[in-house]
């Protein structure tokens, strides 16, 4: 059985009428929060295609907001997301936006944390509650957050992949999948490393200190406690 195994057959446990417009949307919001890595205080949601056209009727706006607040797709408080956002002091806005040649259930979520940190996460809800993250800020990526994931922003230069892989292997952590993305040769590039378990904080610090490394984030698998 491929993909999400039995999850792909019976569908997600969720609150809402649609696995793609509700459960998947909640996971997208949750993923964006996890990638930001801190409590968000501002959120802007750009809704594309079907998300923009029919999302409100399916509760997509509430689901995205609930995810950003840290609620899972099966949390019974999901329909109360706007009230919970007001109680949390989270400022937010929704806009319809043409995001180009992307999946019709795509959203771009821009979050700002209390510490001033900001990230823009683009992702699609591809059915059955499953998601794919397709961009972080302006760099293309591709991952699902089924695994603990290490995300880098670095200068495209020889040896970077080997150095990151060696640092992870030194912790006896197994790499499940690795992908590298870049805009142009020698420019900024990103690495997505999906692992069987997270790497320790000291290993993340060593990776962050590598020459040419600009930023490192480690994100837990979305859907875990």
b/e sequence 193-220, b meaning 16+ C-beta within 10 Å: bbbeebbeeebbebbeebeebeebbbbe
Q: How many residues does the chain have?
A: 225
pLDDT given for residue 184 in this prediction? 87
Residue 16 scores a pLDDT above 60: no
Q: How many percent of the chain have pLDDT more than 90?
A: 72
Q: How confident is the prediction for the chain on average, in pLDDT?
A: 88
> What pLDDT is recorded for position 11?
45
Model confidence pLDDT, tens digit, residues 108-126: 999 999 999 999 999 999 9
| Domain range summary for the chain, segments of one domain joined by + | 6-137, 149-219
Q: Looking at domain 6-137, which of 3.50.50.60, 2.60.40.290, 3.30.1330.90, 1.10.10.10 is its CATH number? A: 3.30.1330.90
pLDDT score of 15 more than 60? no
Predicted local confidence at residue 12, as pLDDT: 43
- What per-residue confidence (pLDDT) applies to 23? 87
Q: Single out the residue of 50, 69, 66 nearest to residue 58, CA to CA.
A: 50
Region 12-32: what's the mean pLDDT? 71
- Are residues 142 and 134 in contact, defined by beta-carbon separation less than 8 angstroms? yes
- Residue 142, pLDDT above cutoff 80: yes
Considering the segment(s) 149-219 as one domain, its CATH architecture is 2-Layer Sandwich (3.30)
pTM of the model: 0.83
Query: What are residue 200's phi and psi, to 5 degrees?
Result: -60, 155
* Among 59, 24, 51, 46, CA closest to 111: 46
Note the pLDDT tens digit of each residue in 31-59.
999 999 899 999 999 999 989 987 666 68
């Amino acid at each position: 059985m491929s993909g999400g195994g039995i999850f792909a057959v019976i569908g997600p446990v969720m609150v809402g009428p649609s696995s793609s417009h509700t459960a998947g949307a909640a996971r997208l919001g949750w993923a964006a929060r996890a990638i930001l890595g801190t409590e968000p205080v501002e959120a802007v949601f750009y809704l594309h295609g079907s998300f923009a056209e029919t999302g409100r009727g399916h509760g997509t706006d509430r689901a995205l907001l609930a995810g950003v607040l840290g609620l899972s797709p099966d949390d019974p408080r999901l329909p109360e997301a706007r009230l919970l956002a007001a109680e949390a002091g989270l400022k937010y806005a929704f806009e319809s936006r043409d995001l180009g040649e992307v999946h019709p259930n795509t959203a771009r979520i821009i979050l700002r944390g209390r510490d001033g940190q900001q990230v823009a996460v683009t992702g699609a809800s591809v059915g059955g509650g499953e998601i794919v993250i397709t961009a972080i800020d302006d760099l293309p990526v591709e991952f699902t957050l089924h695994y603990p994931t290490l995300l880098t922003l670095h200068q495209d230069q020889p040896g970077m992949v080997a150095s990151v892989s060696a640092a992870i292997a030194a912790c006896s952590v197994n790499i499940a999948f690795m992908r590298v993305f870049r805009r142009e040769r020698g420019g900024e590039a990103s690495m997505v490393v999906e692992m069987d378990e997270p790497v320790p904080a000291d290993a993340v610090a060593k990776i962050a200190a590598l020459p040419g490394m600009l930023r490192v984030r480690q994100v837990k698998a979305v859907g875990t406690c």
